[in-house]
């Protein structure tokens, strides 16, 4: 069960950070609207949490090595991690001007990824900075692409 819980939390947390930040940055650069960014966060928190949980559920089932209980633990952990961590990005958007909230959210999200990957690398006997660098770089690429797409769509 410990592995199933770790799988769900690490997947849900990573997905929450990358998809929510990508969405927030893209919507901000495309619309500049606090309301639209908030709507996007809530949409991601709910719809994508269910989607990711189902994805983990099916992935774990397809491996044909996990018990039903392990599959459901991973499913629920994924859903809860994605939902809760995606919703944490609502706080800065509600409390700060939108541009500042985006910056605070970027720092918060990349910090979450850094801490998660540090502990993951340590548990696996890997060099933490290599693992952190790889995964944070992927997140930054996603964020940059969604920013550029938002800028591009704002021209229409």
Specify whether the CB–CB gap between 74 and 5 falls below 8 A: yes
CA distance 81 to 90: 15
Domains of the chain, by residue range, sit at 2-149
Backbone angles phi, psi at 66, to 5 degrees: -100, 150
CA distance 147 to 129: 26
Q: Encoding tokens for residue 42? A: 């809530």
Percent of the chain at pLDDT exceeding 70: 99
Q: Is 26 exposed, middle or buried (0-12, 13-18, 19+ CB in 10 A)?
A: buried
Q: What is the DSSP string of 21-39?
A: HHHHHHHHHHH--HHHHHH
| pLDDT at residue 2, as a whole number | 86
Q: Encoding tokens for residue 146? A: 């969604």
Average pLDDT for residues 80-104, to the nearest whole number?
97
What's the whole-model pTM score? 0.91
Question: Which pLDDT band holds residue 156 (cuts at 50, 70, 90)?
Answer: confident
- Above 70 in pLDDT, residue 102? yes
Question: Which pLDDT band holds residue 1 (cuts at 50, 70, 90)?
Answer: low
Average pLDDT for residues 115-121, to the nearest whole number?
94
Mean model confidence pLDDT for the chain? 94
The helix (H) or strand (E) run that includes residue 84 is helix 68-87
**Residue 96 has what DSSP assignment?**
S
pLDDT tens digits for 31-44?
999 999 999 999 99
Residue with tokens 């930040």: 21
């Amino acid at each position: 069960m410990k592995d199933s819980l770790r799988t769900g939390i690490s997947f849900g947390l990573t997905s929450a950070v990358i998809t929510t930040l990508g969405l927030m940055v893209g919507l901000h650069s495309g619309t500049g609207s606090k309301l639209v960014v908030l709507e996007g966060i809530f949409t991601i928190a709910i719809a994508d949490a269910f989607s990711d949980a189902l994805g983990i559920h099916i992935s774990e089932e397809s491996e044909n090595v996990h018990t039903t209980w392990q599959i459901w633990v991973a499913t629920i952990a994924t859903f809860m991690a994605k939902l809760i961590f995606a919703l944490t990005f609502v706080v800065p958007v509600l409390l700060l001007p939108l541009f500042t909230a985006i910056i605070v959210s970027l720092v918060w999200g990349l910090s979450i990824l850094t801490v998660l990957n540090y502990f993951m690398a340590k548990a696996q006997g890997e060099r933490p900075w290599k693992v952190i660098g790889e995964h944070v770089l992927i997140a930054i690429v996603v964020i940059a692409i969604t920013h550029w797409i938002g800028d591009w769509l704002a021209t229409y």
